[in-house]
Chains A and B, each alone.
Chain A
Amino acid sequence: MPNTSRGLAVGNALVTFATANLSGLGLVYCDWQKGMAPGPVYPIDPVSDCPRLELRLYVEEIDAAVARSTRTLLKFGWWYYRLQTPGQDHQKLLRTDLETIVNLFFGNFNPLQLELAGANFTRPAQTVIHDDLRHEFDDPTLRVSVGEILMEIACIGQA
């Protein structure tokens, strides 16, 4: 039987790895996305809730056994929220932070936690710069930059 909990195990490993290695971003939250919203959601209190990094598992695709192994393809998205300070160059600042995250996972990538969780191959799929999120009153000090890093992880295990 395929290991149907692989997505959860790898996701937990990603969160652990990111939490341990992204302290430079000053994250106040680094964990699974609590809901399953189809797009970025404005944090209710962006002053207290940003910067934050949320993991979303989109797809867990399990292939039939190939050569007595099971191949599972996992597609994750990291959603990064950054509170804007009026007057700053928000797109560049967001891009810099996203690069920090991308470099962590796809630079010298050999995270033991992921290997233990069964991940064999990881590659970035896409980095998306979303439109910024604004409070309904459009207070300039409460605008939030949002970026998303899509990644694919392949896991190969014994059938």
Chain B
Amino acid sequence: MSYDAIRDALKTRLEAVDDIGVVHSYQRWTAEAPNLPGFNTLFKSDGRLNTWMISRVGELSRKAPGDDSRYAVRHTLQVLAFYAIDDSAASEEVFQDLVSDVLADLRAGDRTLGGACLTHSAPEATLDYADFCGVTCHRAEISLVVEEIV
């Protein structure tokens, strides 16, 4: 097990959620203007900016009691989501539902992420608004601590 396996497993897990949009296993950025082909490929799904990105913001190791050869390693993961605001389409409601679906899946689904880790914490989320590459978006930040044994 390793962080890259955990990251890839979480990406696969997120991609299985309906209407999730474009999921990346690391934080993406582009200098290309919105609506240009490169931007659209990176961040758009069904014509709307809807992208999810996984990153790691911390790692903590703890030695196994009575066993100096093993450690419990905890990765603090951050999932950032951006969803273009469209008032006429009630995008706020759509995005809130999407975040709820992701959180529900992380709470109730396989906590080993397909065997990539021992377990993970219950997810925590904050939601607000942000400008992403010049596009005003709904923004969610989901925190998750994933533990593996090495």
Partners in one complex: yes
Instruction: Give the interface of A toward B (CB within 8 A).
Output: 33-35, 37, 41-42, 44-45, 47-48, 135, 137, 139, 141-142
CB distance from B61 to the nearest CB of A (A): 12
Is residue B56 within 8 Å, beta carbon to beta carbon, of the partner chain? no
The answer to whether A37 touches B65, judged by C-beta atoms less than 8 angstroms apart, is yes
* List of 3 A-B pairs having minimum Cβ-Cβ separation, nearest first: A44-B64, A34-B66, A35-B66
CB distance from B25 to the nearest CB of A (A): 23
Q: How many residues of B contact A (CB 8 A)?
A: 15
| CB within 8 Å for A35 and B118 given contacts A139-B111, A141-B111 | no
The answer to whether B66 touches A137, judged by C-beta atoms less than 8 angstroms apart, is no
Chain B positions 32-82 with a Cβ under 8 Å from a chain A Cβ? 64-67, 70, 72
| CB within 8 Å for A139 and B119 given contacts A37-B65, A45-B149 | yes
- Contact partner of B122 (CB less than 8 A), chosen from A34, A35, A42, A137, is A137
CB distance from A100 to the nearest CB of B (A): 25
Q: A35-B66, A141-B111, A141-B119 are in contact. List 14 more A-B contacts (CB 8 A).
A: A34-B67, A37-B65, A41-B65, A42-B65, A44-B64, A44-B67, A44-B149, A45-B149, A47-B118, A135-B119, A137-B111, A137-B121, A137-B145, A142-B118
The answer to whether B118 touches A41, judged by C-beta atoms less than 8 angstroms apart, is no
Q: Which residues of A contact B67 (CB under 8 A)?
A: 34, 44
Q: Which residues of B contact A141 (CB under 8 A)?
A: 111, 119
Q: Which residues of B contact A135 (CB under 8 A)?
A: 119
Given the complex of chains A and B, what is the CA–CA distance between A35 and B67 in angstroms?
Answer: 9
Q: Which residues of B contact A33 (CB under 8 A)?
A: 66
Interface centre among A37, A42, A45, A47, by most B CB within 10 Å? A45
